[in-house]
Amino acid sequence: MMIYGIGLIVLVAGGLLFWRFPQLRKTWYLPKRRGLVALMYHHVGIVEDPREEQFPFTVRPDMLERQILFLKANGYTPISLKELEQAARAGKSSIEKPVMLTFDDGYRDNYEKLFPLLKKYNVPALIFLITDRIDSPGYLTWEQVKEMLASGLVDFGSHTCSHRRLRSLSDEEIAEELTRSKRILEENLGVAVTAFCYPYGAGGFDKRVRPQVAKAGYQFDFSTKKGINPWPWKGKSTLRRAFPRGGETLFDYYLQLTRGQSKL
Ligand SMILES: [Zn+2]
């Protein structure tokens, strides 16, 4: 009887701790997975107050630098969009432990805080632009986009024209968001735009939205669904992404890379 009593107390106490402290809900007990880890970032900068809305979406430059060093020290290879394309075309790849650094929305801090790090460590990245917001306050300018593209380190994808939830739009509106943003980017940058990212992740697994993305001419679509992708990538489905949040530790980062998420 005694032993059951103690067992019950341990169970209840454990449950309470788990409920009270979300930090304990780490994913270390999930099986490790190998494959293509696409990391989803937004802002690079400093937000001091964890209660601020942008806190989880903002990774500190010094933390991002430590993450890049972690990748290099642990045999990960940051790959470019071109390397993803090559692997998808060939159906094979010699790259082991591939990682993609992706940045949503095209914030100006990507030029000011991220780009210097990419150059310092020779690491490629993929930035998803909202075409209506280019050249507006807080967002990248065309000049900055062109400079980053010319460096060979940064590729650009579409994140629609207006960043609305595609699932709430009509078929015509969806087609417009997909094709107009692609055309604007291609006309201004002079390169084919093959990657697309769903605003709020909405539509990545939707039977009405997703076929339109391929129809508009995109080869790769990125969601916000957490997870690690098969490698070499065959390009058959929507890519999942791991989401390193502001305020997370390097242990979280290790879990993101090996489990596709650091917390439940
Ligand atoms: Zn977005």
Residue 245 C-alpha to ligand 1 middle, in angstroms?
A: 15
Residue 150 C-alpha to ligand 1 middle, in angstroms?
A: 24
Dist CA 51 CA 62 (whole Å): 21
Residue 241 C-alpha to ligand 1 middle, in angstroms?
A: 13
Residue 11 C-alpha to ligand 1 middle, in angstroms?
A: 40
Residue 108 C-alpha to ligand 1 middle, in angstroms?
A: 14
Residue 2 C-alpha to ligand 1 middle, in angstroms?
A: 55
**pLDDT(60) > 90:** yes
**pLDDT(234) > 80:** yes
Residue 110 C-alpha to ligand 1 middle, in angstroms?
A: 14
Residue 185 C-alpha to ligand 1 middle, in angstroms?
A: 17
- Do the beta carbons of residue 129 and residue 103 sit within 8 Å? no
pTM confidence score:
0.92
Residue 255 C-alpha to ligand 1 middle, in angstroms?
A: 23
Dist CA 107 CA 188 (whole Å): 18
More confident: 52 or 236: 52
Helix axes 142-150, 171-189, angle to 10 degrees: 60
Residue 227 C-alpha to ligand 1 middle, in angstroms?
A: 18
Confidence of residue 59 (pLDDT cuts 50, 70, 90): very high
Reported as a single tens digit per residue, the pLDDT across 151-160 is 999 999 999 9
DSSP classification of residue 70: H
Residue 22 C-alpha to ligand 1 middle, in angstroms?
A: 25
User: How many whole angstroms from its chain centre is CA 156?
Assistant: 13
Domains and CATH numbers, the chain: 32-259 (3.20.20.370)
Residue with tokens 């998808």: 88
Residue 200 C-alpha to ligand 1 middle, in angstroms?
A: 6
Residue 103 C-alpha to ligand 1 middle, in angstroms?
A: 9
Confidence of residue 4 (pLDDT cuts 50, 70, 90): confident
**pLDDT(64) > 70:** yes
Residue 198 C-alpha to ligand 1 middle, in angstroms?
A: 7
- What's the whole-number mean pLDDT along residues 41-60? 96
Residue 162 C-alpha to ligand 1 middle, in angstroms?
A: 10
Dist CA 258 CA 251 (whole Å): 11
Residue 163 C-alpha to ligand 1 middle, in angstroms?
A: 6
**pLDDT(90) > 70:** yes
Q: How many H-runs (helices) and E-runs (strands) does the chain carry?
A: 9, 9
Dist CA 135 CA 153 (whole Å): 21
Q: How far apart are the first and last CA of the chain?
A: 34
Residue 105 C-alpha to ligand 1 middle, in angstroms?
A: 5
